[in-house]
Structures are given as C-alpha cells and as structure tokens.
Amino acid sequence: MKRILITGGAGFLGSHLCKKLLAEGHEVLCVDNFYTGRRSNIAEFLFEPSFEVLRHDICFPLYVEVDEIYNLACPASPVHYQFDPVQTTKTSVHGAINMLGLAKRIKAKIFQASTSEVYGDPAVHPQTESYWGNVNPVGPRSCYDEGKRCAETLFFDYYRQHKLRIKVARIFNTYGPNMLPDDGRVISNFIVQALKGDDITLFGEGSQTRSFCYVDDLIDGMIRLMNTPDDITGPVNLGNPVENSILEMAGKVIEMTGSSSKIINKPLPEDDPTQRQPDITLARELLKWEPKVKLEDGLTKTIEYFRQLLKDRE
Ligand code: NAD
Ligand code: UDP
C-alpha cells in the first residue's frame, strides 16, 4: 500500500484516478482548489478511511508526506483555461515547481499530466513523442500549451539536475463521466446539447479531427506508466489512435441520443488544431497498453451519465 497525492483529484480525470487507486488499496490524498473540480465527483468515497481531501491551490507550497505524486491540477477545457489565462500558466509552471520541490524533499516519484497540446497544430501526423510541435507562443491557447511545455522542461531538469524519478504522459482528448456539463469540451457539449434538444454547436466546418479515448483506458495507462522502472521517464503519448472529424462526432452523438437537435456552425476558435492523432507505439512497447473501449461503448456510458445528471437537476 502506498500513500499517493493526486493534485486536481476532484476534476474529471483526477476523480477516476482517486477511485482506481483507492480500489487498489492505496491511501489517497486529493488536493484541489475546486476551480473546475466538484465535490460530487469524489462524493462516493469522501468518507472512506483511506481517502483525504485538502482544498489547496498548488501555486502555493504544500508540505505533506507521500510516496507518489500525480500532478493533474490544471483546467483542461479551452473555455476554462482561457477564462483566467494568467492563473492557468501559474498553475502549470508555479504548480509544477511546487510539486517537483515537494517530490525532491520527500523523494517521491512524480507523474505529470502533460498534453497533446504540446504539439500545437501539428505538422507531423500522427504525432510521435519525438516531434517538437508547432505552438503559437502568444495566442489564446498559449497559456495552456506553453504552460504545459514549460512544466515538461521543469520535470526533465529536475530529473537531470536532482535525479528525481519522473513520469511524463502526453494525454490526448479523453472523455467520460464526471466531465462538467458546461465544461466546453466537444463531447460534453454535444451530448448535453443533444439531450436538451438544443442546437449542436459545430465550430468551423467540423473537418478538424481529434482522437477520443475513454477515461477507463486512460487511467489504466497512467497507472501503468507510474509503475514502470525508474529509467522510464517518458514523455509517452496516451490516447486512442482512432481519429474522427468533429462533424462525424456531432452526427454520432445525434444518432446515439436519438435527438432532434440541428447542427449549427459557429466560428472556428483561433489556433484550433486542424488534426490530432497519437502514435502510441511507445506506450504499446513500454506499458503493454492500448485502449480497449470502443467509441460507441464509451459514448453510451457518457450519454447515460449526462442523462442522469440532467434528470437530477430537473
Ligand atoms: P479538469 O478541469 O476536470 O480537472 C482539473 C482539476 O484541477 C480540477 O479539479 C480543478 O479544480 C483543479 N485545479 C485547477 N487549478 C488548480 C490549482 N491551481 N490548484 C489545485 N487544483 C487546481 O480537467 P481534466 O480533464 O481532469 O484534466 C486533468 C489533467 O489532465 C490536466 O492537467 C489536463 O491538462 C490534463 N489533460 C487532460 C486531457 C483530457 O482530455 N481530459 C487531455 C490532456 C491533458
Ligand atoms: N468544438 C466544436 N463545438 C463545441 C466544442 C468544441 O465544434 O461546442 C470543436 C473545437 O473547435 C475543436 C474540437 O471540437 O476543434 C475539440 O475541442 P475541445 O475543446 O474538446 O478540445 P481541444 O480543442 O482542446 O482538443
């Protein structure tokens, strides 16, 4: 049994990770400032003896004693990370410095939830870990993209300079229960719009692509990476290589919800990447991992989650 700190533990991915690590018998300390996290995401294990939650902003130092740290704190949806871009960069950079400093003091192993956004609008397709990316340093997405890139730099400098045990995962678009209904990300938006009978907001023509991974698969990959031998640092891509256009996603959601919603076109946000697909050769080799959940099965579970959530709110 290990003592494990999860920053951003009340968020979408964090809450699933807390649940899985508790089920494996570990002690979990969830640290969250509840910016996009919700108590309802962690309600089902809030009173378990092995679980503890602390309201704290990782931009400030934290003094705790644990064996492992998963650093997930950071809003992930463009709507939320662009709402207070300075805070987004602070969370990524100051937050990483604080968590790395903590890991150094207590000699803990530390995992970083990095992102496919480090590749920006990629000129290489599919994206391999060796690709350095195509990122606008001064655009509306830069607070997140460059913040996460700087965090990766910090992780590798702590590794080289202080011999820290690091694990860096580049996570591609992931979806599932516990996303916020007003999260702004495409799958949650489309499902909630379809269930309410509202217009489906397609940004641009919908020809841009993404590759969507169901949350259970991703959490499995994260834990596998954390448990690799110390010489494996990453970065490792984690995501589902099945690529879809956003227009296809809109159609699929309408079909699966049986909705009468109409698709309407909205302007494409600035710097919206045109394509994205992970090359997961490295994850297959190092982690013996690949996604198992088919898009239709993951969408069915996610639609059911939002259907229940909207019903409870009536
Ligand atoms: P989320 O917004 O649901 O969760 C982020 C959590 O971090 C929230 O609980 C939020 O309250 C908390 N948080 C934000 N700033 C904080 C701060 N300064 N101090 C403490 N807590 C703070 O997002 P998510 O989808 O669960 O993403 C989790 C991590 O994974 C993020 O770091 C994100 O960049 C990364 N990631 C996610 C995806 C994805 O598709 N979900 C893709 C790539 C990377
Ligand atoms: N998108 C869309 N309608 C929405 C929300 C998003 O067409 O209501 C598009 C968005 O422009 C992008 C894709 O869906 O091309 C994925 O957006 P998301 O915010 O989920 O993730 P990211 O752009 O960060 O990959």
The whole-number pLDDT of residue 265 equals: 96
Atom 27 of ligand 1, nearest CA residue = 76
**Ligand 2: which atom is nearest the Cα of residue 173?**
25
Atom 1 of ligand 2, nearest CA residue = 186
246 lines ligand 2 (CB under 6 A): yes
- In 3-state terms, what secondary structure has residue 112? strand
Identity of the amino acid at 264: I
The whole-number pLDDT of residue 21 equals: 98
The whole-number pLDDT of residue 70 equals: 98
Cα 242 from chain centroid (whole Å): 17
Helix (H) or strand (E) segment spanning residue 299: helix 295-313
Sign (positive or negative) of CA dihedral 289, 294, 295, 300: negative
Q: What span, in angstroms and rounded, lies between the C-alpha atoms of 137 and 145?
A: 8
Task: Name all domains of the chain by residue range, CATH numbers in brackets.
Answer: 3-175+213-241+277-292 (3.40.50.720)
Q: What span, in angstroms and rounded, lies between the C-alpha atoms of 72 and 9?
A: 7
122 lines ligand 1 (CB under 6 A): no
Spatial contact of 202 and 250, defined as CB atoms under 8 Å apart: yes
Q: DSSP secondary-structure letter at 45?
A: G
Scored b (16 or more CB within 10 A) or e, 200-218 reads bebeeebebbbbbbbbbbb
Q: How far is the CA of 186 from the centre of ligand 2 (A)?
A: 5
**Ligand 1: which atom is nearest the Cα of residue 37?**
9
Atom 1 of ligand 1, nearest CA residue = 11
Angle at 12 between CA 299 and CA 227, to 5 degrees: 100
Atom 13 of ligand 2, nearest CA residue = 186
Q: What span, in angstroms and rounded, lies between the C-alpha atoms of 253 and 195?
A: 9
Atom 15 of ligand 1, nearest CA residue = 74
11 lines ligand 1 (CB under 6 A): yes
Q: How far is CA 18 from CA 5, 44, 69, in A?
A: 9, 11, 12
Choose the residue to mutate in 116, 210, 265 for probing ligand 2, maximizing ligand atoms within 8 Å of C-beta.
Answer: 210
The whole-number pLDDT of residue 223 equals: 98
Kindly report the length of the chain.
314
Q: How far is the CA of 25 from the centre of ligand 2 (A)?
A: 36
Scored b (16 or more CB within 10 A) or e, 276-311 reads bbbbbebbeeebebebebebeebbeebbebbeebee
Helices (H) and strands (E) in the chain, counts: 10, 13
78 lines ligand 2 (CB under 6 A): yes
71 lines ligand 1 (CB under 6 A): no
Residues of the chain where predicted confidence (pLDDT) is lower than 50:
none
The residues annotated as belonging to the active site are: 144
* DSSP letters spanning 152-192: HHHHHHHHHHH---EEEEEE--EE-TT--TT---HHHHHHH
The whole-number pLDDT of residue 313 equals: 86
The whole-number pLDDT of residue 68 equals: 98
Greatest CA separation found in the chain?
58
The whole-number pLDDT of residue 314 equals: 82
Instruction: Convert the pLDDT of each residue in 50-71 to its tens digit.
Output: 999 999 999 999 999 999 999 9
Q: What span, in angstroms and rounded, lies between the C-alpha atoms of 288 and 46?
A: 32
Q: How far is the CA of 179 from the centre of ligand 1 (A)?
A: 11
